[in-house]
Amino acid sequence: MDYKNILLNVTDHIALVTFNRPDKLNALNHETLVELKSVFEKIKSDENIFVVIVTGSGEKAFVAGADISEINKLNMLDGKKFAEFGQEIFSLIEKFEKPVIAAVNGFALGGGCELALSCHIRIASENAKFGQPEVNLGIIPGYGGTQRLTRLINAGRAAEMILTADMIDANEALRIGLVNKVYPQSELQSKAVEIAIKIASKGQQAIKLALKAIKVVDEVSLQEGLNMETSLFALCCGTEDFKEGTQAFLDKRKSNFSNK
Ligand code: COA
């Protein structure tokens, strides 16, 4: 599939996915969402890719939300399908077996904020702005924002963002735990790559199983989560990476993971 609105670059086990509609502040139209799904399916089946970075082209926006010119035409039935399709793709990202890093390089509004929320790690540039401005349009977040924002940050703060539609800047996002770090815009992408390289250097079986364990937190009780962790830990002990990682430590050498 050729991509019109998304750029995909793969280097050294890292896929860089860039939303590329800068004249529309990288707003997510249906076509872009279809492409995004296809890009992630492609990355999923590519054993050479270990880590994914998502970002926006231009210096102004990560993603300024779903495309309002398309939202404007929705009726109730279409609205349900619209929300379901976005949620399907963002859940695919949230449950992705390879780590996904959001490098938020500007406006992350509505669907853009929801996209960042579905990623596993979020870093931002100093000019980034986050918000769920949907109530300005007479709608509510439909791509998971009411659920993921409320789970990630303080529930009262999430309610304030959703009900007032106010944007917050990168430093406030850092303060409330919405992003992990803030960098000058010129450094953001290289910092994201730095994190990705670090993750890509580990045994990928452990990375995959760690992600799986982390992601069940929202779905199960503490005891069920602990049971899951036990099973996943046991699985790690059956991998070649486990033998190599522990033996390399004992041999005082750098590990050479086969990712098996
Ligand atoms: N959907 C469709 N088009 C969008 C868009 C969106 N979510 N966000 C921005 N654009 C388009 C604008 O219509 C404009 O297109 P045009 O040049 O053809 O008129 C272009 O992107 C640039 O945006 P503009 O509004 O001129 O930039 P700005 O710097 O003045 O304002 C924002 C930036 C982000 C504050 C403003 O674009 C905005 O509020 N966007 C909508 C955000 C939103 O509500 N998102 C949630 C949608 S559910």
HSE of 35 in the Cβ direction (CA atoms, 13 Å)? 18
Q: φ, ψ for residue 54 (rounded to 5)?
A: -115, 140
Q: φ, ψ for residue 220 (rounded to 5)?
A: -130, 170
10 Å Cβ neighbour count for 147?
15
Atom in ligand 1 nearest the alpha carbon of residue 167 = 35
Which among 31, 47, 59, 114 is annotated as catalytic?
A: 114
pLDDT in tens, 34-79: 999 999 999 999 999 999 999 999 999 999 999 999 999 999 999 9
Residue 114 appears among annotated catalytic residues: yes
Eight-state DSSP code of residue 133: G
What is the best residue among 5, 20, 25 to mutate for testing ligand 1's pocket, by most ligand atoms within 8 Å of CB? 25
Distance 68 CA to ligand 1 centre (A): 8
> pLDDT tens track of the chain, all 260 residues?
789 999 999 999 999 999 999 999 999 999 999 999 999 999 999 999 999 999 999 999 999 999 999 999 999 999 999 999 999 999 999 999 999 999 999 999 999 999 999 999 999 999 999 999 999 999 999 999 999 999 999 999 999 999 999 999 999 999 999 999 999 999 999 999 999 999 999 999 999 999 999 999 989 999 999 999 999 999 999 999 999 999 999 999 999 999 99
Which among 31, 41, 94, 134 is annotated as catalytic?
A: 134
d(CA 141, CA 7): 26
Residue 244 appears among annotated catalytic residues: no
d(CA 255, CA 116): 32
Question: How close are the terminal C-alpha atoms of the chain, in Å?
Answer: 30
10 Å Cβ neighbour count for 211?
17
pTM for the full predicted model: 0.97
Q: Which residues line ligand 1 (CB under 6 A)?
A: 24-25, 27, 64-69, 71, 107, 109-110, 133-134, 137
